[in-house]
């Protein structure tokens, strides 16, 4: 019997189509890994919900796209036939299981749970009267249990080789029983498919592990270099790099470029009265509120932490007059989203300075110095104010 299984594997999988599918699967895994690590480095547990949700939804879309892409390539290679479908199915199962380990969010969990009802003829209502319906339901519930366990125990599974292997076997077994109910192939094929699935997972895991190690090192370096550890927004180093890149463009174009600089009024008092930990919460609250509001209103501004309690927003293609109502909306969003610490409401206000890149500016330093002067003009005028090109406005007065 083992000889028969081995011959079956060799004849079914050691051919040009299997090589193409394997390479495509590795390619899709590579794309998924790069996308996941590129997106995940932009969010943290402290990131606003809308930002985390957007990233997770996009990761789910990438996973779904990979499933469709693999299906289309398989049908092209087989001229629309489902012959040799075990190869294609194992490739998809490999991606599904790999993403369970890599992308740890509820979107991936939901896709894994719903996938049996999207697979081949799984939505065939004739099964409801089929004698194999109980076996399908039992196998499906078993799959859901395995998927849920993998989702909640990913770290423990990855740290134990034998647990990882057992979960692979159980995941593949539950899937192939489900497919057997729909396609009624010989039961011995389940063993065949499981062996190939484990081989696939071994190859993919080796390739992905090397890729992940490279991506982790790169993303850690990128995060440290470009993003503020406390607030999660772009940092001073990222700002310096960005301004160097865009100055040469906007200084010679008629397209406007506007800078808004703001800081938190009386920030030192938060640290002195409540402690530096509360001061950190104030900084995070202000940064997250600004990012969320710009995202929801499509303000198209880039937020940077300039240093201490000072932040900068770069608006590309907008004049100061166009930025004025945006800044007012940002300030009002902060006022309407108070921060509560231990049941106590903290009143947080900010002051702004706004100016655009002028033809006489020899560098961004000239623009920064001017915006900084406008910011201090707002503060010296009583704080909680906005100065646009030298004209100061009180936020509290229309």
For 15, phi then psi, to 5°, come to -145, 175
396 in active site: no
Q: Which is it for strands 301-307 and 339-341: parallel, antiparallel or unpaired?
A: unpaired
* Degrees, nearest 5: CA angle 114-115-120: 130
Chain mean position to CA 93: 22
SS3 266: coil
> Could you write out the DSSP letters of every residue in 192-242?
HHHHHHHHHHHHHHHHHHHHHHHHHHHHHHHHHHHB-TTT-SB-HHHHHHH
What's the gap between Cα 331 and its chain centre? 27
Report d(CA 56, CA 50) in Å as an integer.
Answer: 10
CA 358 from centre of chain: 37
The token pair that represents 275 in the structure block:
């402690």
Q: Residues 309, 310, 322, 389: which is the catalytic one?
A: 309
80: left (phi over 0), alpha (psi -120 to 50) or beta: left
Residues with a known catalytic role: 309
């Amino acid at each position: 019997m083992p000889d028969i299984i081995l011959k079956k594997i060799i004849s079914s999988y050691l051919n040009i189509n299997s090589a193409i599918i394997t390479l495509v699967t590795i390619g899709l895994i590579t794309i998924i890994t790069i996308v996941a690590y590129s997106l995940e480095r932009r969010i943290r547990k402290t990131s606003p919900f809308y930002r985390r949700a957007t990233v997770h939804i996009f990761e789910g879309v990438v996973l779904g796209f990979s499933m469709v892409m693999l299906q289309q390539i398989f049908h092209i290679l087989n001229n629309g036939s489902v012959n040799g479908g075990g190869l294609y199915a194992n490739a998809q199962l490999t991606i599904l299981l790999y993403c369970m380990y890599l992308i740890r969010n509820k979107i991936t969990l939901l896709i894994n749970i719903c996938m049996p009802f999207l697979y081949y003829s799984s939505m065939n209502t004739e099964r409801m009267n089929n004698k194999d319906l109980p076996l399908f339901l039992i196998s499906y519930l078993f799959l859901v249990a395995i998927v849920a366990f993998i989702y909640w125990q990913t770290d423990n599974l990855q740290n134990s080789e034998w647990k990882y292997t057992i979960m692979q076997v159980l995941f593949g077994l539950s899937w192939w029983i489900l497919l057997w109910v729909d396609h009624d192939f010989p039961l011995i094929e389940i063993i065949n498919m499981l062996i190939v699935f484990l081989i696939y997972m071994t190859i993919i895991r080796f390739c992905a592990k090397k890729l992940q190690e490279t991506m982790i090192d790169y993303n850690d370096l990128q995060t440290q270099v470009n993003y503020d550890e406390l607030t999660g927004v772009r940092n001073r180093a990222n700002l310096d790099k960005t301004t160097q890149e865009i100055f040469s463009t906007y200084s010679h174009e008629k397209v406007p470029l506007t800078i808004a600089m703001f800081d938190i009024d009386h920030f030192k008092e938060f640290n002195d009265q409540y402690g530096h930990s509360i001061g950190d919460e104030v900084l995070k609250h202000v940064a997250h509120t600004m990012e969320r509001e710009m995202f929801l209103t499509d303000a198209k501004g880039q937020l940077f932490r300039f240093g201490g309690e000072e932040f900068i927003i770069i608006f590309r293609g907008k004049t100061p007059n166009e930025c004025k109502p945006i800044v007012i909306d940002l300030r009002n969003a902060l006022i309407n989203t108070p921060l509560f610490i231990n049941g106590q409401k903290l009143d947080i206000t900010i002051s702004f300075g706004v100016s655009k890149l002028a033809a006489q500016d020899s560098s961004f330093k000239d623009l920064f110095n001017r915006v900084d002067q406008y910011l201090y003009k707002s503060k010296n005028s009583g704080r909680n104010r906005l100065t646009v090109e030298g004209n100061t406005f009180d936020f509290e007065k229309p």
